[in-house]
């Protein structure tokens, strides 16, 4: 168990390109931190610097307050689960799990080794497979062996490098929850790299979003979702992605504030409007789930939002939910900014269409002109030039992250209670 502190970490390669640029993160003992971002954002490099497989160009890495920049990986007492599991093909499952203990010659008796391996195997439901070679295991079992190897280390921290990316979707979901439970029950500090925002949101106590080697925001999943720091975080977190609708804040003669968009006017709460007022153009960040088919709502809820009338191009019915798509003419003033954003997120060109989540029972169809209700209180406004979130409530955000930390500590106490 240990805390990990990254202080202004920089990684520059020989060509001078900074793969990781000035990143500082404090990881508390027992915390599960996710590093997430599109490919090439430096998340894997950062993880490999923590474990010692990459040199740190500048900055300081502390484990439990002790500087470890110069230490070899084996001196850091960390355990890592690799993307391809890195199981030793010549060893049985048992010996694979026992491997770290075998390396520490004389530190463990044969009995101890057996006991620890068996306990880990039990935890991971590998007991029947202990004598098999990795080549004869399924993807999920290999994944478990890799975790078993990490468990027996009693390492200061677990590091995961995209451990689920080689599994199929169904297994991924299952392993995801297994990893979450395991981490909670062992209460071991964990750093987990992924490009998959679902993994990030479901696993992390806190999630660090990286872009081009720079830390965009580190916060609890809920804070990232509700109070994103900028356009990139807002777009990267959440699926389907947040819609970015260009518009200008205007004050009508009656004193109410509206956002004038290519799809018509949306009434804005006073506070939101004030943040965007006086600007030539802003991007309104509206998540698909902020919308609803007005026809399916009661009047009380309807009153708390604004109504848009728009023609749908097509709809997708998924059983538990339904998406409707609304094309619109993009504003040339923001086209480039959105193009860049799509590029940074590793996505194809952003289509200029609104993705709208409506109730599964809604009967809107492609071609219809529907009345769409939007929850205006949750709309964020972004500066298209800088990407900055103009309406971010830092205090509310911090509160969300504080709550997540409390939840984690409560979990840990509950676990400790069970063990005693």
Partner 1 sequence: MTATADNVPAEQRSRRDRREVQAVKSDRAKDEARLGWLLAGPAFVIMLAVTAYPIAQAVFDSLFSYRLTAPDERSFIFLDNYILLFSDWVFWSAFLVTLFITVVTVAIELVLGFALAMVMHRALKRIRGPLRTAILVPYAIITVVAAFAWYFMFDINSGFINKWFSWVPGISAELDWFANTGTALTVIMAAEIWKTTPFIALLLLAGLAQVPDELLEAARVDGATRWQLLRRVIIPNMKAAIMVAVLFRALDAFRIFDSVFIMTYGDAGTEVLALLAYRQSISRLEIGLGSAVSVVLFACVLLMCFIAVKMFKVDLASGTDTGGAQGGGEK
- Contact residues toward partner 1 (CB under 8 A) are 51-53, 72-74, 77-80, 82-84, 86-91, 99-100, 102-104, 134-135, 149, 153, 159
Q: Would you mind telling me the total number of residues written for the chain in this entry?
A: 420
Main-chain phi, psi angles of 233, to 5 degrees: -60, -45
Angle at Cα 315 formed by Cα 312 and Cα 320, nearest 5°? 135
Choose between 103 and 169: whose C-beta lies nearer to partner 1: 103
Choose between 84 and 256: whose C-beta lies nearer to partner 1: 84
Q: How far is the CB of 80 from partner 1 (least distance, A)?
A: 5
The first and second tokens of residue 283, run together, are 């991007």
Q: How far is the CB of 40 from partner 1 (least distance, A)?
A: 19
Q: How far is the CB of 384 from partner 1 (least distance, A)?
A: 42
Q: How far is the CB of 135 from partner 1 (least distance, A)?
A: 5
From CA 6, how far away is CA 12, in angstroms rounded? 16
Choose between 123 and 137: whose C-beta lies nearer to partner 1: 137
The first and second tokens of residue 112, run together, are 């101890």
Choose between 134 and 228: whose C-beta lies nearer to partner 1: 134
Helices (H), 350-393: none
Q: How far is the CB of 134 from partner 1 (least distance, A)?
A: 5
Q: At what angle do helices 169-186 and 394-419 cross, to 10 degrees?
A: 70
Residue 106: partners with Cβ closer than 8 Å, 6 or more residues away: none
Given phi > 0 = left and psi -120 to 50 = alpha, else beta, which region is 301? alpha
Residue 265 CB burial class (10 angstroms; 0-12, 13-18, ≥19): middle
Choose between 157 and 215: whose C-beta lies nearer to partner 1: 157
Choose between 52 and 387: whose C-beta lies nearer to partner 1: 52
Other CB atoms within 10 A of residue 150 CB: 26
Extended strands (E) in 277-377: 282-286, 291-293, 306-311, 314-317, 322-327, 353-358, 369-374
Choose between 135 and 318: whose C-beta lies nearer to partner 1: 135
**CA-closest candidate to residue 23, choices 206, 197, 216, 201:** 216
Q: How far is the CB of 188 from partner 1 (least distance, A)?
A: 15
Q: How far is the CB of 337 from partner 1 (least distance, A)?
A: 39
């Amino acid at each position: 168990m240990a805390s990990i502190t990254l202080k202004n970490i920089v990684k520059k390669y020989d060509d001078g390109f900074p793969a990781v640029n000035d990143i500082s993160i404090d990881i508390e003992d027992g915390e599960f931190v996710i590093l997430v971002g599109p490919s090439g954002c430096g998340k894997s490099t950062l993880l490999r610097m923590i474990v010692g497989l990459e040199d740190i160009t500048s900055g300081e890495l502390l484990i439990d307050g002790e500087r470890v920049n110069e230490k070899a990986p084996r001196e850091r007492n960390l355990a890592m689960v690799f993307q391809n599991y890195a199981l030793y093909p010549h060893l049985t499952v048992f010996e694979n799990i026992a491997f770290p203990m075998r390396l520490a010659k004389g530190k463990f008796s044969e009995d101890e080794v057996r006991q620890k391996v068996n306990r880990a195997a039990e935890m991971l439901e590998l007991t029947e497979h202990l004598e098999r070679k990795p080549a004869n295991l399924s993807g999920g079992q290999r994944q478990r062996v890799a975790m078993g190897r990490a468990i027996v280390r009693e390492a200061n921290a677990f590091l995961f490098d995209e451990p689920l990316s080689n599994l199929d979707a169904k297994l991924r979901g299952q392993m995801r929850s297994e990893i979450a439970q395991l981490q909670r029950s062992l209460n071991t500090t964990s750093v987990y790299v992924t490009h998959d925002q679902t993994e990030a949101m479901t696993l992390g106590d806190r999630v660090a979003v990286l872009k081009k080697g720079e830390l965009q925001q580190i916060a609890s999943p809920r804070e990232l979702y509700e109070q994103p720091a900028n356009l990139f975080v807002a777009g990267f977190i959440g699926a389907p992605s947040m819609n970015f609708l260009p518009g200008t804040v205007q004050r009508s003669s009656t004193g109410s504030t509206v956002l004038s968009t290519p799809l018509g006017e949306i009434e804005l709460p006073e506070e939101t409007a004030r943040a965007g007022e006086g600007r030539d153009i802003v991007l309104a960040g509206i998540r698909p789930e902020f919308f609803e088919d007005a026809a399916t709502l009661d009047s009380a809820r309807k009153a708390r939002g604004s109504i848009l009338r728009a023609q749908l191009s097509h709809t997708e019915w998924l059983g538990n939910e339904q998406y409707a798509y609304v094309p619109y003419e993009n504003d040339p003033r923001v086209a480039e900014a959105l193009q860049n954003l799509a590029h940074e997120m590793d996505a194809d060109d952003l289509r200029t269409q609104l993705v709208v989540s409506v109730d599964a029972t809604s009967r809107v169809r492609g071609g219809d002109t529907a009345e769409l209700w939007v929850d205006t209180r949750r709309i964020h406004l972004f500066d298209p030039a800088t990407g900055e979130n103009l309406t971010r409530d830092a205090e509310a955000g911090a509160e969300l992250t504080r709550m997540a930390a409390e939840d984690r500590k409560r979990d840990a106490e509950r676990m400790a209670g069970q063990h005693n």
